[in-house]
């Protein structure tokens, strides 16, 4: 191989190209390739030069045809008509050639949209023009109209099956579509016809690699399904792990092996996990457990220490290490001691306080449990679950006032909790001697109100029960009573706002009444936010109520306030996008919907709305992809999305045909 001499011919070819001397350039490139057969860049330049020469020859033919047409024009119309009608096939053939050549000229000028139209007219008249189908495929691929490009290349190949570039270009499009089976087939045909095509080996290898990965992933998923049916079949785990070293599957296999006392095998699997992920403290922890079972105490302790290094919150391992050190003696340590030790090292860990409280309650040491739960709330004051636990303890101690206070505090943080509501209702009924009888419960509550007129929670529970029975008017009056006694109670204001919206949407009321109810709900929700600015759903409901009154700027301000408090709360961006859609601000809506997907890519509802906004903006390809994604995430999403997808596909097809 004489590379230096090949470079000289390559440079010479470039000089001829600049002069427009295509035949000389082609000859020079051929000599360069002969000297350096593997030089792919020269082959590409050669292909370009041959294409340019072909276009030049076509233009020359067109010029001759035009000159001949001018001569015929001087001979009179009647003679031309005679020639045309005498040989109609010849005229059609000339017309096709004209369209073909005109298309080539438009491509050279960069007017590719017009070129597509002209090429399509050519193949309408004469469908067997394989070269035009190929050129059409090239242009459609550039426009990213990939499915149409595939159809064009397929037709070209059908007409001329020995043209390697047809398969080559088809393979490129199929790669973009991630249709690896088709891409592999196309590249194989191309390489059989011409093994010197640019990067053909690399493209075929890449497609084969992608195809193999998909097949492997499919096989792996079927093994997972088999494992679900036969979770104790160890052989299935090993076969699946031959395909992919999945950490979760390794943990499952090692756990089963340990259960079967196959500790040597379990240790090998846990060690493989640490090789895949050296930060997996759980693997080191389980290694320590397996080694302890084999009485390999020194190594076990080293594994526990490694787990402790990786997760500083595993202070209970200190007790575990001590237990292994003293394993030959009867050493029994209380779990509460372990947690106290953990708290000593990490006094700001809410979990430790909460869990030590659980242990004391399980041992019936209620006062100790109360103490530790209260300590937990100092670290995490918005833990409604902890308030619920305290309410349960006070209820068991028949300290109903404190139980009501704790349950109510939990509901202030999480007003949608049905479990806490049921518990507070039961305690209120026990505390105020209210008969739990469905027939007379209103009378019973009203009697309790007479006996305890300043107990706001009785009014609120009665309002809730009436609300559930759809007796909204009466429930609203009791919500008002509760708020008049305790105006700064978030729970009462929030509940009343919900009841007002419920009556507005479902009650048989006229339009002025609906506007009044909505306005009152807005006022109540604003009060609720002033009392407790941390509950996200209040902002959502306030924003929705404002939007119903077409107060879009105020609604947007509410959603933006929510975003400032919780910048990663995807529902806020979703609601803001919906608001912008109502205003016809599709581009701004698109931006918000895209951010929702960034925060929560599995939220199916946003893809449907993003598709709708994109369709409104004429971005049909992406809109179609969004509709498909929504259906993929939730196939039972509803017929409306399927209709939108069909409309977008039809709209795109119509535009492409014009």
- Where are the domains positioned within the chain? 3-213, 245-316
> What is the rounded distance in angstroms from the CA atom of residue 115 to the CA atom of residue 120?
9
Write the pLDDT tens digit of every residue in 235-280: 999 999 988 889 999 999 999 999 999 999 999 999 999 999 999 8
pLDDT for position 59: 60
pLDDT for position 590: 95
Q: At a CB cut-off of 8 Å and minimum separation 6, what does 83 contact?
A: 72
pLDDT for position 298: 79
pLDDT for position 89: 38
Pair 376, 357: CB distance under 8 Å:
yes
Q: Greater confidence, 420 or 341?
A: 420
**Among 359-363, 371-375, 415-419, 432-436, which stretch is predicted with the lowest mean pLDDT?**
432-436
Confidence of residue 12 (pLDDT cuts 50, 70, 90): confident
Residue 372 has pLDDT above 80, yes or no: yes
Residue 76 has pLDDT above 60, yes or no: no
**Whole-structure pTM value:** 0.51
pLDDT for position 71: 43
Best mean pLDDT range from 31-35, 224-228, 480-484: 480-484
In three-state secondary structure terms, 149 is helix
Domain 3-213 and domain 245-316 have a common topology = yes
Q: Calculate mean pLDDT across residues 126-152.
A: 90
Q: What's the whole-number average pLDDT of the chain?
A: 85
Residue 470 has pLDDT above 60, yes or no: yes
pLDDT for position 58: 56
> What is the rounded distance in angstroms from the CA atom of residue 544 to the CA atom of residue 556?
10
Residue 652 has pLDDT above 60, yes or no: yes
Q: Which fold has domain 3-213?
A: 1.25.40
pLDDT for position 653: 83
**Among 45-54, 362-371, 391-400, which stretch is predicted with the lowest mean pLDDT?**
45-54
Residue 81 has pLDDT above 50, yes or no: no
Q: Greater confidence, 515 or 655?
A: 515
In three-state secondary structure terms, 427 is helix
Confidence of residue 437 (pLDDT cuts 50, 70, 90): low
Structure tokens, 177: 């579509």
User: Rounded to whole angstroms, what are the CA distances from 608 to 356, 397, 586?
Assistant: 46, 52, 14
Q: Calculate mean pLDDT across residues 47-62.
A: 68
Please give the full DSSP string across 610-629, using - where no structure is assigned: HHHHHHHTT-HHHHHHHHHH
pLDDT for position 85: 36
Confidence of residue 327 (pLDDT cuts 50, 70, 90): low
**Among 184-193, 597-606, 634-643, which stretch is predicted with the lowest mean pLDDT?**
634-643
- Which burial class, exposed, middle or buried, applies to 583 when counting CB atoms under 10 A from its CB (0-12, 13-18, 19+)? middle
Write the pLDDT tens digit of every residue in 211-223: 888 888 888 889 8
Please give the full DSSP string across 573-619, using - where no structure is assigned: HHHHHHHHHHTT-HHHHHHHHHHHHHH-TT-HHHHHHHHHHHHHTT-
Q: Greater confidence, 349 or 395?
A: 395
Q: Calculate mean pLDDT across residues 607-627.
A: 93
Alpha helix (H) ranges present in 532-551? 536-548
pLDDT for position 93: 54
pLDDT for position 482: 95
Of 319, 284, 290, 316, residue with least CA distance to 302: 284
> What is the rounded distance in angstroms from the CA atom of residue 40 to the CA atom of residue 10?
12
CATH architecture of 245-316: Alpha Horseshoe (1.25)
Percent of the chain with pLDDT over 90: 44
Residue 111 carries which DSSP code? -
pLDDT for position 446: 87
Residue 69 has pLDDT above 50, yes or no: no
pLDDT for position 639: 85
pLDDT for position 215: 86
pLDDT for position 326: 52
Q: Greater confidence, 191 or 638?
A: 191
> What is the rounded distance in angstroms from the CA atom of residue 324 to the CA atom of residue 296?
10
pLDDT for position 198: 84
CB atoms within 10 A of CB 545: 27
Helix or strand holding residue 44 (H, E): helix 40-73
pLDDT for position 363: 84
pLDDT for position 94: 63
**Among 52-61, 144-153, 327-336, 339-348, which stretch is predicted with the lowest mean pLDDT?**
327-336
Residue 329 has pLDDT above 90, yes or no: no
pLDDT for position 438: 60
């Amino acid at each position: 191989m004489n590379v230096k001499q090949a470079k000289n011919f390559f440079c010479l070819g470039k000089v001829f190209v600049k002069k427009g001397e295509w035949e000389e350039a082609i000859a020079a490139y051929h000599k360069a390739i002969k000297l350096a057969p593997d030089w792919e860049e020269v082959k590409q330049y050669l292909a370009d030069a041959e294409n340019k020469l072909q276009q030049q020859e076509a233009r020359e033919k067109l010029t001759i045809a035009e000159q001949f047409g001018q001569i015929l024009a001087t001979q009179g119309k009647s003679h031309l008509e005679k020639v045309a009608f005498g040989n109609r096939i010849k005229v059609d053939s000339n017309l096709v050639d004209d369209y073909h050549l005109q298309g080539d000229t438009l491509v050279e000028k960069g007017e590719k949209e017009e070129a597509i139209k002209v090429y399509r007219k050519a193949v309408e008249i004469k469908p067997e023009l394989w070269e035009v189908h190929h050129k059409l495929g090239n242009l459609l691929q550039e426009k990213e109209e990939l499915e149409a490009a595939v159809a064009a290349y397929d037709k070209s190949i059908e007409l001329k099956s020995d043209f390697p570039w047809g398969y080559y270009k088809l393979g490129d499009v199929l790669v973009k579509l991630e249709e690896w089976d088709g891409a592999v087939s196309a590249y194989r045909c191309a390489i059989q016809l011409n093994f010197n095509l640019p990067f053909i080996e690399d493209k075929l290898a890449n497609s084969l690699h992608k195809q193999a990965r998909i097949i492997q992933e499919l096989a792996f998923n079927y093994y997972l399904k088999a494992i679900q049916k036969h979770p104790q079949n160890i052989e299935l785990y090993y076969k699946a792990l031959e395909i992919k070293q999945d950490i979760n599957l390794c943990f499952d296999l090692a756990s089963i092996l340990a259960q079967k006392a196959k500790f040597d095998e379990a240790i090998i699997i846990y060690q493989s996990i640490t090789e895949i992920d050296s930060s997996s403290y759980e693997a080191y922890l389980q290694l320590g457990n397996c080694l302890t079972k084999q009485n390999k105490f020194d190594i076990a302790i080293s594994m526990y220490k490694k787990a402790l290094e990786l997760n500083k919150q595993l202070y209970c391992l200190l007790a575990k290490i001590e237990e292994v050190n003293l394993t030959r003696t009867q050493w029994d340590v209380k779990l509460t001691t372990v947690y106290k030790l953990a708290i000593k090292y990490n006094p700001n860990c809410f979990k430790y306080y909460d869990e030590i409280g659980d242990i004391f309650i399980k041992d019936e040491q209620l006062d100790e449990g109360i103490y530790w739960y209260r300590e937990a709330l100092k670290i995490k004051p918005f833990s409604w679950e902890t308030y619920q636990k305290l309410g349960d303890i006070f209820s068991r101690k028949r300290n109903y006032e404190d139980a009501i206070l704790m349950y109510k505090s939990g509901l202030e943080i999480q007003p949608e909790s049905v479990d806490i509501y049921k518990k507070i209702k039961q305690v209120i009924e026990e505390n105020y001697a209210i008969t739990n009888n469905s027939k007379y419960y209103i009378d019973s509550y009203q009697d309790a109100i007479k006996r305890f007129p300043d107990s706001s929670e009785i009014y609120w529970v009665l309002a809730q029960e009436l609300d559930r029975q759809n007796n909204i008017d009466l429930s609203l009056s009791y919500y008002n009573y509760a708020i008049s006694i305790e105006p700064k109670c978030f729970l009462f204001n929030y509940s009343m706002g919900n009841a007002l919206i419920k009556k507005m949407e479902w009650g048989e009321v006229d339009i002025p009444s609906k506007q009044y109810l909505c306005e009152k709900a807005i006022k109540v929700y604003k009060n609720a936010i002033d009392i407790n600015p941390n509950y996200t759903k209040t902002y959502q409901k306030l924003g929705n109520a404002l939007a119903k009154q077409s107060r879009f700027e105020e609604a947007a301000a509410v959603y933006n306030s929510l975003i400032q408090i919780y910048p990663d709360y995807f529902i806020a961006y979703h609601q803001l996008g919906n608001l912008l859609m109502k205003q016809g601000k599709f581009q701004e809506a698109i931006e918000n919907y895209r951010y929702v997907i960034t925060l929560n890519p599995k939220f199916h509802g946003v893809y449907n709305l993003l598709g709708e906004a994109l369709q409104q903006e004429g971005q049909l390809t992406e809109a179609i992809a969004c509709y498909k994604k929504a259906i993929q995430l939730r196939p039972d999403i509803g017929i409306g999305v399927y209709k939108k997808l069909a409309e977008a596909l039809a709209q795109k097809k119509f535009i492409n045909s014009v």
